[in-house]
Amino acid sequence: MALPLMPKATAVWLVENTALTFEQIAAFCGLHSLEIQAIADGEVAVGMVGLDPVANGQLTKAEIERCEKNPDLRLKLLVPDLPQPMARSKGPRYTPITKRGDKPDAIAWLIKHHPELSDAQVSRMIGTTKPTIQAVRDRSHWNAPNIKPRNPVLLGLCTQRELEEMLAQASKRLPGDTGDDEEAGDAAMVDEDDEEEMPYSERA
């Protein structure tokens, strides 16, 4: 059963502003009726500001009044009919600014430990560009002296599952296939602010 936002704060508001029974409020908020009674007695959620479920569109006044008249009825949560946003399956992977400096280290680790991965796969997994991967590989990267291979999973740049899936794909690839034709747009796959951690003073 779907629950309202901030169930306990919603329960506080319902206790303070309606004549609903403890059982009705408990059923709606997913709490125990004894906890609702404790809220009413001031033993639980002391000082908590109630959240109005009518104001945030989770209940209507008519629904509250309907249930106030009959303690056997249960409140029905309003389900928004707005279309849900589409899941984003492609596009640049967002990497927090604090993590972007770790990308070259992660690339170096993948190149060293999993050379079977294509540049396209590394690009998608880390959220970087193929030119940066090549720069790390041939040590022409601007920060090459300071790059130390580190596991991208431990750095938080990808999950272990993502790494395993990429390795499984690489193992199925035919010999000689570099995978560069995977997703033609991979070369452009990079964070909007991801000029690969290069200091402004060294950027062209």
pLDDT of residue 85: 54
Between CA 121 and CA 170 the distance in angstroms is 9
Amino acid (1-letter code) at residue 203: R
Predicted confidence at residue 48, as pLDDT, reads 84
Residues of the chain with pLDDT under 50: 82, 89, 91, 178-204
Residues 6+ apart with CB under 8 A from 84: none
How many C-beta atoms lie closer than 10 Å to residue 91's C-beta? 10
Q: What is the pTM of this model?
A: 0.43
In which residue are the tokens 């997913």 written?
A: 30
* Distance (Å, whole) CA 114 – CA 61: 61
Q: What is the pLDDT of residue 60?
A: 92
pLDDT at 171 (0 to 100): 83
For the chain, which residues make up each domain, given as ranges? 7-69, 97-197
